[in-house]
Amino acid sequence: MSFSFLTKDDAALLLPFLKKKLFHAGSILIDEGQVPSCCWLLVTGRLLVKKQTTYPGRFVTIALLDPGAIVGEQLLAESIGHTTTVTALDDVELLELSSRSWEDFVRAHPEAAVRFLRYVLGISSLRLQGATRRLADLL
């Protein structure tokens, strides 16, 4: 597992809590509005993150995610519906962290879990900054 935000020690602690998942190109991993049950670490392939507009059947691209990205990280903080749809652009390999596995990881390795959450918070902050810039450009 090669995720630059994890130390080798933290990766070794997290690995037993992850489950390998494969999805074919075109598969929908997350539907907008779906309540999260897991999050993923993208190992291979690319993902498209899109948001439905007010026009039925019309979407706007929010992001293209490459290997190393975390997907569905909202699960770590809350259980409200996803705000975007995520689709596999290629065949993808992911490592799944279920809500149960996350809770078990937090109990077993609280310090590593805090480091993981700090990373996720940083990524979420960067994504919000990017969305804010794009919104400002539209106005």
Q: Which domains does the chain have, with CATH numbers?
A: 12-138 (2.60.120.10)
Residues 96-110 have pLDDT tens digits of 999 999 999 999 999
- Looking at residues 77-94, what average pLDDT do you find? 87
Residue 88 has pLDDT above 80, yes or no: yes
Q: Any bridge partners for residue 70, and if so which?
A: 41
Per the confidence metrics, is the pTM higher than 0.85? no
Instruction: Characterise 45 by phi-psi region: left (phi > 0), alpha (psi -120 to 50), beta (else).
Output: left
Who wins on pLDDT, 101 or 3?
Answer: 101
Q: Does the pLDDT at position 133 exceed 80?
A: no
List Cα–Cα distances, 31 to 1, 80, 84, in angstroms: 27, 13, 7
State residue 3's pLDDT score.
Answer: 67
**CA–CA separation, 15 vs 36, rounded Å?**
20
Does residue 2 surpass a pLDDT of 60? no
Strand 92-98: give its sheet, edge to edge: 19-23, 92-98, 38-44, 70-71
What's the rounded Cα separation, in Å, for the pair 122 and 21? 25
What is the per-residue pLDDT across 49-83, written as a single tens digit (0 to 9) for each? 998 888 888 888 888 999 989 898 877 776 677 88
CB 100 within 8 A of CB 63: no
